[in-house]
Amino acid sequence: MQELFRIENLCMAFGEKEVLRNINLTIRRGEIFALIGPSGAGKTTLLRILNFFEKPTRGNLKFNGLANEGEINNIRRRMSLLFQTPAIFKASVFDNVAYGLRVRGIDKKKIENKVTSALNLVGLEGKEMQKARTLSGGEAQRMAFARAIVYDPEVLFLDEPTTNLDPANVAKIEELIKRIRNERGTTIVIATHNIPQVKRIADRVGILLNGELIEVNSKEGIFTAPKDERSAAFLKGEMIY
């Protein structure tokens, strides 16, 4: 698989606090890469850096050969990030989903078609005109998913996308993740501490612990023969600080 992201010796600190240390990682085009680790391990920060949302304190990040310099907005437009709790605009479901298309200057007819198709995909057809803030938690997350994929991003970052959802909505989101990767070839990077979910959807896994990426391997490799003792302990469910 072709390399999409390359991270070399990346460090991130907020003031005195170092949240990521010496991260080296390659993410391949079209894969579902899961970043797992306990809360506070630095998963969200790493996702934000990969999304060019934060600039690392040190180290290199390259997306498709492009460094984290220059036209960040153009690079970011090729990606999308879905938060754990979606921020919903004070507007209709349609307007929320159409947002990413409108800022790209797509014409009205195309927007209508794409939004309709995205809402059908996530099972929210018929709710176009509903105020988005009146949706249930699961529906809101699915709407945010539609909003994130409606403009066909090359990369979709998911930050704990199913944490607050019921099993039916978890299953739906997981099905959507697999579907857009398989049908559109979208690269997915998901941060989670839901190990069963990782087993269900990921191709490769990286384990982050206290800001260090202690192991990166295929899903099978990580779960059957972890190389690092700390990885094994974490996967067994032992709390590590």
Partner 1 sequence: MSSAEFLYQGIIRAIELIFSLNPYILSITGVSIKVSGTATLLATVTAIPLAFALAFLQFRGKQALITLINTGMGLPPVFVGLFIFVMLVPAGPFGFLNMIFTPKAMIIAQYILVTPIITGISLAAIKAVPKPIVETVYTLGGSGKDAVIATLLEAKFGIITAVLAGLGRALAEVGAILIVGGNIAYTGSVGGIGEGLSYTRTLTTAITSETSKGDISTSIALGIILIFLNLSVNLLATFFQGRD
Residues that bind partner 1 (CB under 8 A): 51, 53, 73, 76-77, 79-81, 83, 85-87, 89-91, 99-100, 103-104, 147-148, 151
Rg of the chain on CA atoms, in Å: 18
Residue 82 CB, nearest distance to partner 1 (Å)?
Answer: 8
C-beta closer to partner 1: residue 56 or 100: 100
Q: What is the dihedral of CA 113, 115, 116, 117, to 10 degrees?
A: 80
Residue 79 CB, nearest distance to partner 1 (Å)?
Answer: 8
C-beta closer to partner 1: residue 87 or 239: 87
Residue 227 CB, nearest distance to partner 1 (Å)?
Answer: 34
Closest CA to 48 of 82, 88, 17, 8: 82
**Phi/psi class of residue 128: alpha, beta or left (left: φ > 0; alpha: ψ in -120 to 50)?**
alpha
Query: Is 8 strand, coil or helix?
Result: strand
| Residue 50 · residue 75 · CB < 8 Å | no
C-beta closer to partner 1: residue 151 or 234: 151
Closest CA to 51 of 81, 16, 92, 18: 81
Residue 153 CB, nearest distance to partner 1 (Å)?
Answer: 8
Residue 152 CB, nearest distance to partner 1 (Å)?
Answer: 12
C-beta closer to partner 1: residue 100 or 226: 100
C-beta closer to partner 1: residue 17 or 90: 90
Closest CA to 218 of 42, 46, 38, 31: 31
Cα–Cα distance, 154 to 176 (Å, whole number): 15
Residue 209 CB, nearest distance to partner 1 (Å)?
Answer: 26
C-beta closer to partner 1: residue 93 or 216: 93
Residue 132 CB, nearest distance to partner 1 (Å)?
Answer: 12
C-beta closer to partner 1: residue 61 or 214: 61
Closest CA to 180 of 35, 113, 80: 80
Cα–Cα distance, 50 to 154 (Å, whole number): 13
Phi, psi of 140, deg, nearest 5: -60, -40
